[in-house]
Amino acid sequence: MKLETQLREKIRSQGKADSTADAYWYWIERFLRFAKSKRGEWVLPADMGRRQVEIFLTSLAKDDVSANTQNQAFSALCYLYREIVCAPLENVSALRAKRPQTIRDVLDVSEVLRLFAELVGIAKLVAMLMYASSFRIGEVGRLRMKDISFERKQIAIRNSKGEKSRVVGFPECLHDAVHRQMESMKVLWRHDVADGLNGVSLPKAFGRKSPNAHKEFAWWYLLAADNYSKCPNSGRLLRHHIDMGHIGRQIKQAAIAAEIPKRITSHCLRHSFACHSLENGVPIHVLQALMGHTSIETTEGYLHVTVDGVTAAKSPLENLLSNPQTAINNRRDDQEPPRLRVFAG
């Protein structure tokens, strides 16, 4: 069996996402090519070990890759040797890229409005959901009809990052737009049922356990794609959700059109939700649950960019420029008068 096939089947059997398999295989293949460039021929992972991994990781650090990138490569190789080669790596010592302390990009309220003004249709609905309820863009794509409750004003996000699920708010201002989208999907669903088509893709092995669920409207994507495509797991032609990468690019282009002078991606809407929620008085432990953070420390990172956070401390420059003489006098008054001190020698 090919190494890639082994890897993907193992990851799938453990319930991990296909995106994890894609990322791991990228780094494993890159590691194998690196080893080939050194030896002049292909080398099996079983014929290599800790030393070769150290050399590869050190080469990445010297290439100035980010800490997150190098850590992902390390995780992929650890998984390879632990789960596939059955020879876990131990005491790996390599030059590691330093993980920087990052500051999250956050939109001002006025910038959010300008961004929305440049968006239309599905892209606008996605952007509003992300800002309204802390969604990651992929989580919006995976939303199904059964996850949305108008009466309870809640949306369930299932099996997201880290295989975690959570419930977020569903503000009334979005009910009409979501309802219209659901009605348009119902038309598509009825056509599929009438034509005897396969229906939508389902999570992991659920389609085998409940084959009729493919055609149930409850399992239909809120943002189902116009066309069918082949399922990478089963090989069947199924209807998946729309390409969320394309939506992300639309949001980025809208930020450029709105002349927002920041590096804006769709994920900035999630950061902005967190920051603005704190500014509006949402308790940090509540925000932690809404964001799906395992650690409160991750949520606390947003305190640094709130307008009433650390930057709310008044700058001494303001005092100086507003009344220079008063500032000088106050500085003199605060100083302790000189005293004569005699030390015994």
Residue 334: its H or E element: helix 324-334
Within the chain, all domains assigned CATH 1.10.150.130 are found at 3-84
Which architecture characterizes domain 101-312 according to CATH? Orthogonal Bundle (1.10)
137/327 Cα distance (integer angstroms): 50
Provide the edge-to-edge strand list for the sheet that holds 148-149: 148-149, 154-157, 166-169
Q: To which residue do tokens 């999630």 refer? A: 270
* Percentages of the chain per state (helix, strand, coil), in multiples of 5: 60, 5, 35
Confidence of residue 82 (pLDDT cuts 50, 70, 90): very high
Whole-number pLDDT of residue 99: 58
167/340 Cα distance (integer angstroms): 69
Tokens of 89: 């790596």
Q: In sequence order, what are the residues at sequence separation of 6 or more whose Cβ sits closer than 8 angstroms to the Cβ of residue 41?
A: none
Within the chain, all domains assigned CATH 1.10.443.10 are found at 101-312
- Say if residues 243 and 225 touch (Cβ distance below 8 Å): yes
Topology of domain 3-84, per CATH? Answer: DNA polymerase; domain 1 (1.10.150)
For 149-197, how does the pLDDT look when each residue is reduced to its tens digit (9 = 90+)?
A: 999 999 999 988 877 899 999 999 999 999 999 999 999 999 999 999 9
The most confident of the ranges 15-24, 187-196, 336-345 is 187-196
For 220-236, how does the pLDDT look when each residue is reduced to its tens digit (9 = 90+)?
A: 999 999 999 988 777 78
Whole-number pLDDT of residue 91: 81
The predicted model scores a pTM of 0.76
Radius of gyration of the chain measured on its C-alpha atoms: 27
Q: Which residues are catalytic?
A: 136, 161, 267, 270, 293, 302
Q: In sequence order, what are the residues at sequence separation of 6 or more whose Cβ sits closer than 8 angstroms to the Cβ of residue 299?
A: 274, 284, 287, 288, 291, 293
Region label for 102, one of left (φ > 0), alpha (ψ between -120 and 50) or beta (otherwise): beta
Tokens of 209: 């356990």
